[in-house]
Structure 1
Amino acid sequence: MPTKKQRAELSRAAILTAARRQFARQGLDRTTIRSVASEAGIDPSMVMRYYGNKADLFRAATDIDLALPDLAAVPPARRGELAVRHFLSLWENAETEDPLRMLLASAVDSPEAAARVQEVIENGLARVVAATVDEDPAASRARAALVAAQILGLALCRYVLRLPAAVEMSPETVVAGMGPAVTAVLDQPLPTSTGR
């Protein structure tokens, strides 16, 4: 028989699993504490006990370590390919509800989710780009934003909007098509002005 601590961990895991499913299907705004609790087979008060409010539950469900590879450790011509391949490996894993995909789906209509996407990109991708390209911080952030636009655009078209042509492409075709574009953003000099 499980101990009290083990039961608590099982409950927390069930809540997170249900929350990730619902956030992925319905987004942040349409998911409720009550619906998550119902799917997890747990009283709503337990969701509140373990995770506080819906915003805190969303934050826990989207706790993302992008585990980005060290792009500086590979030849410059292969950096874009490696980055695209890495993200595809996260997204193509059918066994998990990918938190980044869930965030992207929620960010369309939720300022809180959009802010979380910004935080994830800033804390993950921007740091990797800064370590790869020797330039001032503002230029590095701009470069990371351009890479994010490409990567998140792929995720939006392939996994959220499910555009048929984007869905039907094999991962290798996606890597071959997008890798050089990401490499170009990583390697090309950027204009120094960031104003509109």
Structure 2
Amino acid sequence: MSENRQPPRRSDGTRAAILRAARERFAADGYERATIRAIAADANIDPSMVMRYYGNKERLFAAAAEFDLRLPALTGVHPDQASELLVGHFLERWEGDETLMALLRAGVTNPAAAERMREIFAAQLVPVAERLSPDRPQVRAGLVASQILGLALCRYVLRLPPIVAMERADVVAWTAPAVRHYLTGSVTETAEVGLQVAGDAGQVD
């Protein structure tokens, strides 16, 4: 008589189903409103399975937030064009990926989401900055991130009316020069510009 055996557990398939459901649920509801129970229902599994594989919602979110920003290499591209391409690329990513937007929103208030965002930008943006300038690429990437993330918060989360109303081409035109300076400029150039502005402001006709 043959023994009754449980079918082999397809852990990889289960994990994939959980992550797929989690990304969709986090994108639809945001981090705070999404629940383990809802994600499990979306994946058609018991909530205990989600807890078994990921432990809690923070760990699940961190695992689900495995994003490839698909940044352009920018090798051999002129700095002016590189900054325009980079800003335009990020606008497309923010507008085309609801899960990435969910991570951005959650990162404002949730430490796990903020840490995941930092990891993503450090791992993917620093190499791009290093290819354009080997001088302090971590600092340059951090400054670019401050510009890009600040823009995303104002345009897509806080929805400041003047920023929301701007055409994409105008956003690129206004933002790209700052990104170009962060990628290839120097502190000396910044200081010289600041002194010139201060001098002009102090002149009296």
User: With structure 1 as the length reference, what TM-score do the two structures score?
Assistant: 0.78
Identify the residue that residue 64 of structure 1 maps to in structure 2. Answer: 67
Query: For residue 145 of structure 2, what is the aligned residue in structure 1?
Result: 148
Which structure: larger Rg? 2
Structure 2 CA distance, aligned partners of 1:57 and 1:153? Answer: 26
Shift of 1:68: 1.0
- Cα pair 1:105 1:160 within 8 Å, conserved: yes
Between the aligned partners of 2:16 and 2:58, the Cα distance in structure 1 is 17
Aligned partner of 1:194 in structure 2 is none
Q: Aligned residue pairs: how many?
A: 182
Residues 125 and 141, structure 2, Cα contact 8 Å, conserved in 1? yes
Runs of at least 4 residues off by over 6 Å = none
Distance 1:141 1:162 in 2: 29
Q: Is the 8 A contact 1:84 1:175 kept in 2?
A: yes
Deviation of the 1:57 alpha carbon: 1.4
Structure 2 unaligned segments of length 5 or more: list them: 1-7, 189-205
**SS state at 2:146 partner:** helix
CA shift, 1:50, in A, is: 4.7
CA RMSD of aligned residues (A): 2.7
Could you say which residue in structure 2 is the equivalent of 1:184? 181
Larger RCO of the pair (alpha carbons < 8 Å, separation 6+): 1
* C-alpha displacement of 1:62: 0.6
Q: TM-score, with normalisation over the residues of structure 2?
A: 0.75
Which piece of structure 1 moves more, 30-39 or 166-175? 30-39
CA distance in 2, matches of 1:165, 1:102: 23
Task: Return the alpha-carbon distance in structure 2 between the equivalents of residues 27 and 111 of structure 1.
Answer: 15
Q: CA deviation at 1:134?
A: 2.1
